[in-house]
Amino acid sequence: MAVAKKSLYTGAEITWCRLCGNFGLMSAFGWAVHELAETIPYEKFVILSGIGCHGKIVDYIDLNSFYSLHGRAVPTATGIKLANPELKVICFVGDGDIYAEGISHLVFAAKRNTDITVIVHNNRAYSLTTGQFAPTSPSYFKGKSTPYGSPEDPMNPLAIMLSSGATFVARGYAGFTDHLKNIIKEAILHKGFSFVDVLQPCVAFYNTYDLYNRQTYRLEQTDHDPSDFEKAYSKALEWDYNREDVKIPIGIFYRVEKPTYEERA
């Protein structure tokens, strides 16, 4: 029996820039939710966000939501899931938001294998605050706080997540909506902590459409085995978030089943 499609749009004025990568991400998610709604009722979804351009997504999508603090969506989500394990809890967070301000929470959510999904709008910049460098900005990125380039190299969030114990680790690209939709669906269906780093071009501060269109390739089209941790780790290291001349794998890097925090707590 087909479930009646609910409108997922709240009607709030959308204030993202034209062609912002957040649009692709939002439509991939909406698409995934509609497909999942065949088995998961709409009211069982709870979405959360941090603070940044990415955060606005919870104002636009008409699902239960918690517009959290900068960097703090993940512990809030953990609390929601613990209080009501029937809910599907998904965090939309920014790269500044979760790789800087809230990194400890991300690492611990992975360590706990709490059954939530974290989707990072990784535009590799602080956009809402008008363009500072972020933890995954390349070292040549000239942001407002680093006008001569950054004295730091970027971090590799996939490697961090794998070594922290995440049981589902993926990377998507907001420009490939259908591919991203499938990753998001798998992530939500995964039992345990699922993590998706989404390459999200920011047309205002770091337009990376050309780079990702040119350099990304899909893991499913290779012989990659997502159950193999070592392979997943070496795939994660293929691109260091700095170079523009290497291929960037997207897809599901790693997936394994382990008891969740909610089952063990």
Ligand X SMILES: Cc1ncc(C[n+]2csc(CCOP(=O)(O)OP(=O)(O)O)c2C)c(N)n1
Residues at the site binding Mg ion, with contacts judged by CB under 5 A:
94-96, 123
- Our CB check for ligand SF4 shows the closer of 131 and 157 to be 131
**Using the rule CB under 8 A, is 215 a contact of other proteins?**
no
**Using the rule CB under 6 A, is 197 a contact of ligand X?**
no
122 in Cβ contact with 95 (< 8 Å): yes
Residue 20 touches which of other proteins, ligand X, ligand SF4, none (Cβ within 5-8 Å per kind): ligand SF4
**Distance between CA 220 and CA 162 in Å, rounded?**
19
**Using the rule CB under 6 A, is 134 a contact of ligand X?**
yes
Residue 78 touches which of ligand X, other proteins, Mg ion, none (Cβ within 5-8 Å per kind): other proteins
Q: Which of 22, 122, 156, 216 binds ligand SF4 (CB under 6 A)?
A: 22
- Our CB check for other proteins shows the closer of 20 and 232 to be 20
**Distance between CA 263 and CA 152 in Å, rounded?**
40
List 216's β-bridge partners, or say none.
Answer: 248
Q: Which of 24, 96, 143, 226 binds ligand X (CB under 6 A)?
A: 96
Q: Which of 125, 170, 250, 252 binds ligand X (CB under 6 A)?
A: 125
Alpha helices in the chain (DSSP H): 21-36, 57-60, 73-83, 95-96, 103-112, 157-164, 177-189, 209-215, 229-236, 261-264
Sequential DSSP letters for 197-225: EEE--BTTTB--HHHHHHHEEEGGGTT--
Please report, as residue ranges, which positions from 70 to 109 form the binding site for other proteins (by CB under 8 A). Answer: 72, 75-84, 86-87, 104-105, 107-108
The CA-based diameter of the chain, rounded to the nearest angstrom, is 59
**Using the rule CB under 6 A, is 20 a contact of ligand SF4?**
yes
3-class secondary-structure state, position 63:
coil
- Our CB check for ligand SF4 shows the closer of 53 and 170 to be 53
**Using the rule CB under 6 A, is 53 a contact of ligand X?**
yes
Residue 67 touches which of Mg ion, other proteins, ligand X, none (Cβ within 5-8 Å per kind): other proteins
**Using the rule CB under 6 A, is 202 a contact of ligand SF4?**
yes
37 in Cβ contact with 193 (< 8 Å): no
**Distance between CA 34 and CA 4 in Å, rounded?**
9
Classify residue 191 by its DSSP letter.
S
Q: Least CB distance from residue 200 to ligand SF4, whole Å? A: 7
Identity at 21, one-letter amino acid code: G
Binding residues vs other proteins (CB under 8 A)? 10, 12, 41, 43-44, 46, 51, 56, 58-59, 62-69, 72, 75-84, 86-87, 104-105, 107-108, 265
